[in-house]
Amino acid sequence: MKIIGKIGQAGSAIWILNVWFNRFNKDTGYRGGNATNMREEFEEYGLPEPVMYAVGATKVSLATMMLVGLVKPKFARPASVGLATLMLGAIGMHLKVKDPLKRSIPAISVLTGAVLAAALNGDDSEA
């Protein structure tokens, strides 16, 4: 079971880093509302630009901690729980703008991976 948690942990972290560093200014087909990039997506949600950068910095930090958690397990659970919480918010934003379910699939996938990582990898005794 632990390998499933590690896959969820690594997959979720890499996905988040890809979105914020590689797809930030790209239209992915999963953006909220009519947005074609990250900035427009946050505008669709009614959130100001500073919130976008705060959310991005938090997600990138948590994703990095999740990757560190692959070698330092004490970081895995807190980072995974934090990312899962943010992904619940992301799903909520898609609901707010009445997006079709398809647009929430990436957030649901990252949420699932983060929950698996938190549930299956959180043994803090492995420092």
Segment 17-47, tens digit of pLDDT:
999 999 999 999 999 999 999 999 999 999 9
What pLDDT does residue 91 have?
A: 97
Number of domains present in the structure of the chain:
1
How much is the pTM? 0.91
User: Residue 83's pLDDT is what?
Assistant: 98
- In this structure, is residue 127 part of a structural domain? no
Q: Quote the pLDDT of residue 125.
A: 46
- Measured between alpha carbons, how far is 27 from 34 in angstroms, rounded to an integer? 10
Q: Find out whether 79 and 62 touch, Cβ atoms under 8 Å.
A: yes
Residue 103 domain-assigned (yes or no): yes
Residue 20 lies in a domain: yes
Could you tell me if residue 126 is inside a domain? no
Tell me, yes or no, whether 40 lies in a domain: yes
Minimum mean pLDDT range among 17-26, 40-49, 63-72, 118-127: 118-127
In a domain, 95, yes or no: yes
Domain range holding 114? 2-26+36-121
Task: Inform me whether the pLDDT recorded for 127 exceeds 50.
Answer: no
pLDDT band per the 50, 70, 90 thresholds, residue 1:
confident
Q: Tell me, what's the pLDDT at 122?
A: 58
b/e code 63-75 from CB counts within 10 Å (16+ = b)? bebbbebeeebeb
| Mean pLDDT of all residues in 56-60 | 98
- Whether residue 75 is predicted with pLDDT greater than 50 in this model: the reply is yes
Q: Is 31 domain-assigned?
A: no
Distances (CA, A) of 54 to 3, 39, 127: 31, 12, 29
Q: Answer whether residue 126 shows pLDDT above 50.
A: no
Handedness of CA 83, 87, 88, 93 (dihedral sign): positive
